[in-house]
Structure 1
Amino acid sequence: MSEPQVTEQQLREALADQPVILAPGPHEPPTRIPPVPNDVWDLPGGTAWVYYAEGSDRLTKPVIAADGFNMGPSDIGMLWQGLDWGEYAFFSELRRRGHGVVVLGFHERSVAIQENAEAAIAAIMRAGEERQGDHRLAVGGFSMGGLVTRYALAKMETRRLDHQTGVYWSYDTPHRGAWIPLGLQAFAHYSRKLNDGFSRQINSPAARQLLAWHIEEWDDKPRVDELRHQLLAELQQMGNWPAIPLKIGVANGVGTGLGNGIKPGDHAVEGKGLSIVGTHLYAQRGGDNQIVANLRLVSLPPAKDVPTDDLPEMDGAPGGTLEGFGILADKLNEQPPLYGLKTDAHVRHHAFVPSVSAVAVREVTTDADLYVDIDGLAPEESELDEFRLASQNEPHTLMTTELGGWIVERIGNLG
């Protein structure tokens, strides 16, 4: 039996409160209540939840951990769920070893990195003032949080502000850029009339700064956004990195140059329902005039194919992955069958933060750089002083003993 024809207005009403949002980590609300913080700091543009070390009644050996990119405000419950209640209890292990943990969240995670860096600067200054003893701080973050704190520390040094930081750390941070497939970006903008949440995420200031290639409209030519150019120029003017602390970082991807198994041109997403049949998304293929999407949604004007020219084959690159294709299909499949939005994700994930970006050894503009054997490079080729790569390509910011444990050990040994 065929599905009934639905109107654009019906689809708009159905999708009104359910935008597609691409984000790593758990997507369900926490099933546990996070620990009650010992203190909460109200910061310009952010909030810091402060947890003293086990058995302590003061802030000792502080570790600042900044949240990453998403839409809306940081959620302390989701942060504990993603970073402490899985394989490795990152926050709890730091506290067990005598560190106070300052979890830095933002009122709006999608604003410009420079804006959220002001919250980071305020948190760093307050941690230095309130700590017990003279133990230097460890300051860093997850994904975008690593860029926010990198910018904040570099800005403090430029202003001659004493950040009292001994270690800067980053966890799968896109130092050289992140990747959202151009087909997904195009779908976000093409479907804007039905629900603009996905498009607003892709076009948010932080996304424009993080993505190595960005499109503002579905039929735009991919480019480096002006906001990214501006951020990189400001970092360059400030020395690109903080000069005083030791700089360490980890990647959720391998260093062998082995990709995640996605082949160029793989059929990633296929629209099956009556309202979306004809929509197809494909993994990025190199070369000229490569089709990454065919777009069709009920009552919206038929779209031409979405081509790209001379882009690297990013989707299969080694690095931390994101279930971007799967998130889109799952959200559409949540709708009742009568809306005709059934969609198959033949490929669920794609590279999001290439390994070479997370450990700052190469740009992400060519296949030769994306798939380089990092393990075979001299460690000095990284802009980080020390780094660690995962033993397999795994989800972006997945907290593991392998990576989280290494950071905790290095913070403890170097502090």
Structure 2
Amino acid sequence: MSKPVVNIWGTPPGSERASVQSAPWDTKWDLRTATAGGTAWVFYRTPGEEVLRRPVILSDGFAPAGTDVDFLYDGLENGEFPFVSSLRQAGFDVILLGFADRSASVTDNAEIAIQCILRTIAEREGDAPLTVGGFSMGGLVTRYALAKMERQRMNHETATYLSYDTPHHGAWLPLGVQALAHFVKDNWGGEGKPLFNLYSDLINSPAARQMLRWHLATGSDATLDVAAGQDKERADFLAALERMGSWPQIPRLLGVANGTGTGAGNDIPADSPAMSASGPELAAQLRTQGEGSRTVARLQKGEGDEVSIDTTGFPAIDGAPGGLFPELLGGASNFGVAALLANLINSPDQAELTYNASTFVPTVSAVAVAGIDDHEALYSKVDLERSELHDFLCATDNEGHTVMTRELGGWIVAKLQEA
């Protein structure tokens, strides 16, 4: 059975912030381009020493609003494995890279990453090469940044690229959940109602459109074939990445996955009830994704016309090996957020929730082995020889997306020490 989902993304607007200690960074750099902004928080290997010698740049990932360094640090340091302090004890300086808007375009935030890399090189004493990477979409941001620097003949002086549960071949958010989020915003959202707008706005953000393999922009009737549903933002991003060479060619490419590499899924069955609501304002039935021709959502406002989301040829992806969708609102994950929205519209505790989360980044995507369209590939044992990475590690159990574990964090520290 899967481990609980751990949120290192920070608290979205409109939800209660948990109490965390301030991150003990030593200095920070403000970074800005014409289209994006960001901040780098520097943790020298010896606190207070203010000498940068062996830099490791780690980029924040996708989420609403800007990076909260205290939450980011807390998730990396105060869970099962103290990742930041372990890197420092191993002789590395840690630079946490955050963005003013984590849902902005990957290519825009990649310009902030390039600034951070150049600033790091300028501030470094000696000639020790850099390690550059990120968590979730942060891995895509830094992958694109390094590839673009090489394409433009810029010396990034990076020996190792690192991705942590990054959706190299796309991420998954159940289509019924996407449709319900838009349906809620269209019918109950608007100015002054942030919780009814938030999830829909997040799904329709540039970064989400680039990351999600299948994307719905509205809550109206839809029929999707497995080959369709790719947003133009994603197609454009993939084309831009290909123009940069797809991957940086100079560094060794390392990655980890929060999902298993054995083909063992997370025990969420295909084509099964996930969330239902039958209140006077909103009626909704969401089902997990199944193979063949399936109806994954039915939505209705009052006595209005029913909206149906139908799919053909999709894999049973909700239960596939991979990092589970992280918590967003009050501990709710994707189907859980759908239940929360239904309860806000109808009455508290009215919705019936069978499954809170599902796979967000399939293992085959995180370790760049195969596309996520193929059911057999999703549930097969991963093969290092088929990966676009030079080396990777998969988790023993399917766990929360970007959760920092001793297994994965310890492997990364050991690999960096080998260089």
TM-score scaled to structure 2, two decimals?
0.88
1:24 positional shift: 6.4
Paired residue type of 1:313: A
The residue aligned with 1:17 is none
Structure 2 counterparts to residues 205-284 of structure 1, below 5 A: 205-218=206-219, 219-222=221-224, 223-276=229-282, 278-284=283-289
**How many residue pairs are counted as aligned between the two chains?**
385
The residue aligned with 2:168 is 175
1:31 positional shift: 2.1
The residue aligned with 1:32 is 20
Residue 167 to residue 180, structure 1, CA distance change in 2 (3 Å):
same
1:328 positional shift: 2.9
The residue aligned with 1:353 is 361
The residue aligned with 1:197 is 198
Residue 40 to residue 146, structure 1, CA distance change in 2 (3 Å):
same
1:51 positional shift: 1.1
1:77 positional shift: 1.2
The residue aligned with 2:418 is 413
Matching residue within 117, 121, 124 for 1:128: 121
Does 2:305 align with 1:302?
yes
Local SS of the residue matching 1:105: strand
The residue aligned with 1:69 is 62
Deviates more, 1:143-152 or 1:25-34: 25-34
**Alpha-carbon distance in structure 1 between the residues aligned to 2:8 and 2:302:** 29
1:331 positional shift: 5.2
**Alpha-carbon distance in structure 1 between the residues aligned to 2:288 and 2:276:** 12
CA shift digits 1:207-237 (9 cap, x unpaired): 0000010111122444111111111111112
1:297 positional shift: 3.5
Contact 1:191 1:297 in 2 (8 A): no
Local SS of the residue matching 1:263: coil
Does 2:40 align with 1:51?
no
Does 2:317 align with 1:314?
yes
The residue aligned with 1:113 is 106
Structure 2 counterparts to residues 75-94 of structure 1, below 5 A: 75-94=68-87
Matching residue within 330, 333, 344 for 2:352: 344
Local SS of the residue matching 1:352: strand
Paired residue type of 2:263: G
**Alpha-carbon distance in structure 2 between the residues aligned to 1:224 and 1:60:** 43
**Alpha-carbon distance in structure 2 between the residues aligned to 1:84 and 1:412:** 19
TM-score scaled to structure 1, two decimals?
0.89
Residue 242 to residue 266, structure 1, CA distance change in 2 (3 Å):
same
1:57 positional shift: 2.6
Residue 170 to residue 141, structure 1, CA distance change in 2 (3 Å):
same
Matched-pair identity in %: 44
Local SS of the residue matching 1:201: helix
Does 2:333 align with 1:327?
no
Structure 2 counterparts to residues 367-386 of structure 1, below 5 A: 367-374=375-382, 377=383, 379-386=384-391
CA shift digits 1:175-231 (9 cap, x unpaired): 000000000011011111312222111111100000010111122444111111111
Contact 1:272 1:341 in 2 (8 A): no
**Alpha-carbon distance in structure 2 between the residues aligned to 1:26 and 1:296:** 32
- Which structure 2 segments of 5+ residues have no match? 1-5, 190-196, 326-332
**Alpha-carbon distance in structure 1 between the residues aligned to 2:114 and 2:200:** 30
**Alpha-carbon distance in structure 1 between the residues aligned to 2:95 and 2:178:** 34
Contact 1:315 1:350 in 2 (8 A): yes
Runs (4+) of structure 1 moved beyond 6 Å?
A: none
Local SS of the residue matching 1:209: helix
Paired residue type of 1:31: S
**Alpha-carbon distance in structure 2 between the residues aligned to 1:166 and 1:237:** 22
Deviates more, 1:241-250 or 1:80-89: 80-89
**Alpha-carbon distance in structure 2 between the residues aligned to 1:190 and 1:35:** 39
